[in-house]
Structure 1
């Protein structure tokens, strides 16, 4: 068991946690959720290396606890020419070689006792990671992830998504007591996302996963830890049930809050009248009555319900253009081809109109990002862009667009903002408080960097946006805000996405890359393909109906129509039972 009790921690720029507590027990698969920048990755760092941090409260974890860890950032440089088998089996091979070396040394050494101790320790370490069944377990995991054909390839031959899954398999095969993963789903295509789901659900042991992926959240976890506004709450159950309980609580609390506000307003009016009377007449009784009413008002104010998990600050993402143009061909691609060691794309032809919203889809490693970068650079004769089109680009490699050594203030002054006040006013809409305007961009979370990229893209007022995995790293609230912004944008959008929800909710059609070429696909055919190849049709259709009802509930709450919200809540509950 891992136990965190009354833990508080702060950065110089902001507080992260205020006396948070939770436990993780055997076989719990826990999703760790919360808005971008709330401190999820930092809390994981504290769990993995508590000696490095100065915090209040206690963290109880067995010193012999083996922790498996998969970072949100892949590190390929040092292992590119290692085979997949060698990479996954690194610890296993190392221990086997160590045992062989000790055995060879025993043949000539006089200090057998010391060598026997080393031999026993190495055997125990090998046994701890399932040494006898290691290769059998490896083959099972590779088959589960549909990666069995990759075992003899070098790491450099893998796509980013495939390498992410290989990292997960490596950590799982070392039999950790606690498996931690920080956004392992980022950039995974539909097929690899299903593989990750299978790996998570097959794992025996405690698991703590930071994820914002709605598909994984709905299919993989039996516990939720939600970190928000310095506080944390636990929920034993599925993410779907947790979300429903939050929505029910929100309906109840908003109804109570209106009653409280009316009572506070009525008492404030009485107090004002009593104060005027006491000042005019000087009556002692009036003064005592006034003090009594003021104490009662203080109690009312104090009992105002604090809702850190209900009133979540959602960013206001707005994609705007100063130069919308009448419908025309904004982008034309004729006979485009690209090769590295092998041909990625050949004889590619398509065009995008000035108000089209289009998603490029395809498996990891099929050339989507290369194509988008070439369009942005606009120096390939196969690419033709209308002269009235101004392009802005969001990269999945955030350092390409953001100077991570800049502060937020410096970044936006460099982008053309004139004053501190202009920058502060603008980025506050995106959820950045004034206190962190002088914070280095490199210290922000992945989600905060993507929100900052979106703010910078919007500030450019361009009339065509190239978005490479814009949903990546974003929390679910920001994902929904971005979907609305894309839908409302008065220009052309070409985006790479592996997120089913953002594609369904935002775009007019998709361009699918298969067999080194691109073809246009209607949304109806896209849905049909997704149902046939990747995800359950009933689940996805019910999920879409569920989202529509949730939006209706939000609208009812804005209109303070609590009776309608309660009726819709019952409709929502019936849909959840189907899921």
Structure 2
């Protein structure tokens, strides 16, 4: 059990939590969501090491619980030459070695009591992590994640996504009572993402996972914690049910809000009339009536419904172009090849036209980022760029395009803005306001850094965008805003993404990496391929029906047709029960 009551915490220039309370019970798998910069990672740090933080309120964690942690930014010690199996088994092998050493020491030692106590402690530690059968446990987890083939590979040869999964497996095999993972899905390809889903669903302990990945959110969790604007909301149930609950509440609140606004307007008219009367009639009763109405109006204003979790403001992302290119090939790749220690891509041929929106899809470590960077640098004979093309690049390595030592203001002055006021006005569309713009970029969260990259890309007004994992670290609200910006964009986009929803909602077709080359696939073929592998037969049709109903509800709310909206909500509930 974890119990948080009335917890408040602030940094010198930012309040993060204001009297938040929640509980986590044994065996719950909880998704921790919220907009970028809302303080999710800091709250995780407080849960892991409360002594480091001066917070108000109460935090209770069972002192006997063993804690497991998978960090957002994991670093591999490249000096260690170890296989995947040895890396996962490190703690088991260390305890076995300790037990063997104690046996050896017993042969010559006279202090048997101390050694027997030490021996028992080591045995207990090994038993607590299932040490009697650890080889079988490792093989089962590797099989579950479809990584058995990597058992004897060197850890240093793994892709970033593979290494992340290996870390998750290693931490799970320690059998923690409470496991925390901070965005374990970032940069995972869809196959590895599915493996992560299987690992999460197989874990028996309590789990808190920061994620914005809609696939994981819809398929892995039975509790939601939503942190927003210093407040927290907890919901026992699936993410899809949580969103439905928010939509129901939105319909109810908007209906009440419209009624309240009408009441406020009626009262304002009465106050205006009383004021007019008071100018030529000075009776005390008239003055008292006016004051009473003003007080009533103040009460109406004070009780206006506020719903910080229901209708969160999306950032305004808009990709404009300085110079539109009419129906022409803007990027041509011919006989492109790339190799490092081994051949990654060969005989790659494709072309992108001026309005094409294209996703490059392939497993981690197959050369996608290298290809995109080579196109951006335009340094290969096998790559041809149209003369009128202006390219903007978003890198998955955020330090490649952002200077961590700059403040946000300085970064955009360096990008060509003329004044700080101009920067402040522009960057406010992306959620950066007030003292935030004076922060060093190095102090920002991963999501905030990606937002800055999107803002810089948009400010460039380029007619070709190269986007490498643009949704990584972004909250779901920003992902939706980005999808809309991509759909509305009048230029060409070449995007690497493992986010299934961003690809199917915004791209015209995909380029699939297979057997070290690239082939073109229609969006219909790609969607059917993914659904056939990972979803039930009717899931696609039901999900499309769900989305259509949600759009109809939004339109009904815009027209203040609340009866229609409530009827559509009932239809939506029936669809969600089937998903």
- 1:477-504 deviation per Cα after TM superposition (whole angstroms, max 9, x unaligned): 1111101100110101000011111111
1:425 aligns with 2:462: no
Judge conservation of contact 1:224–1:237 (CA < 8 Å) in 2: yes
Judge conservation of contact 1:191–1:534 (CA < 8 Å) in 2: no
Q: Distance in 2 between matches of 1:123 and 1:173?
A: 16
Q: Distance in 1 between matches of 2:401 and 2:387?
A: 23
1:114-133 aligned at under 5 Å gives the runs 114-133=114-133
Tell me which residue corresponds to 2:9: 9
Judge conservation of contact 2:360–2:368 (CA < 8 Å) in 1: yes
Judge conservation of contact 2:224–2:239 (CA < 8 Å) in 1: yes
Cα shift at 1:79? 5.8
Give unmatched runs, 5+ long, in structure 2.
Answer: none
Tell me which residue corresponds to 2:522: 522
1:549 aligns with 2:545: no
Q: Distance in 1 between matches of 2:484 and 2:228?
A: 23
1:135-284 aligned at under 5 Å gives the runs 135-284=135-284
Judge conservation of contact 2:78–2:156 (CA < 8 Å) in 1: no
- 1:171-212 deviation per Cα after TM superposition (whole angstroms, max 9, x unaligned): 100000101111111111111111111111110010111111
Q: Distance in 1 between matches of 2:554 and 2:399?
A: 36
Cα shift at 1:30? 0.6
Q: Is the partner of 1:429 in helix, strand or coil?
A: helix
1:391 aligns with 2:391: yes
1:571 aligns with 2:571: yes
- 1:353-373 deviation per Cα after TM superposition (whole angstroms, max 9, x unaligned): 111100000111111111001
Tell me which residue corresponds to 1:505: 505
Q: Distance in 2 between matches of 1:142 and 1:510?
A: 30
- 1:265-286 deviation per Cα after TM superposition (whole angstroms, max 9, x unaligned): 2212322332343354332111
Q: Distance in 1 between matches of 2:470 and 2:537?
A: 25
Tell me which residue corresponds to 2:481: 481
Tell me which residue corresponds to 1:562: 562
Judge conservation of contact 1:469–1:496 (CA < 8 Å) in 2: yes
Structure 1 stretch displaced more, 522-531 or 308-317: 522-531
Q: Is the partner of 1:63 in helix, strand or coil?
A: coil
Q: Is the partner of 1:453 in helix, strand or coil?
A: helix
1:303 aligns with 2:303: yes
Q: Is the partner of 1:437 in helix, strand or coil?
A: helix
Structure 1 stretch displaced more, 299-308 or 564-573: 564-573
1:461-480 aligned at under 5 Å gives the runs 461-480=461-480
Tell me which residue corresponds to 1:26: 26
Cα shift at 1:536? 3.4
Q: Distance in 2 between matches of 1:401 and 1:540?
A: 37
Cα shift at 1:462? 0.5
Q: Is the partner of 1:251 in helix, strand or coil?
A: helix
Judge conservation of contact 2:376–2:466 (CA < 8 Å) in 1: yes
Q: Distance in 2 between matches of 1:367 and 1:145?
A: 22
Judge conservation of contact 2:359–2:496 (CA < 8 Å) in 1: yes
Q: Distance in 1 between matches of 2:152 and 2:334?
A: 37
Q: Distance in 2 between matches of 1:423 and 1:537?
A: 49
Q: Is the partner of 2:254 in helix, strand or coil?
A: helix
Q: Distance in 2 between matches of 1:411 and 1:552?
A: 41
Judge conservation of contact 1:9–1:56 (CA < 8 Å) in 2: yes
Q: Distance in 2 between matches of 1:54 and 1:106?
A: 47
Tell me which residue corresponds to 1:335: 335
Give unmatched runs, 5+ long, in structure 1.
Answer: none
Tell me which residue corresponds to 1:294: 294
Tell me which residue corresponds to 2:49: 49
Q: Is the partner of 1:465 in helix, strand or coil?
A: strand
Q: Is the partner of 1:282 in helix, strand or coil?
A: coil
Cα shift at 1:551? 2.2
Q: Is the partner of 2:54 in helix, strand or coil?
A: coil
Tell me which residue corresponds to 1:458: 458
1:55-94 aligned at under 5 Å gives the runs 55-78=55-78, 81-94=81-94
Give TM-score scaled by structure 1 length.
0.98
Q: 1:530 to 1:417 in 2, by over 3 A?
A: same
Q: How many residues align?
A: 579
Q: Is the partner of 2:233 in helix, strand or coil?
A: strand
Tell me which residue corresponds to 1:370: 370
Q: Distance in 2 between matches of 1:215 and 1:540?
A: 13
Judge conservation of contact 1:361–1:498 (CA < 8 Å) in 2: yes
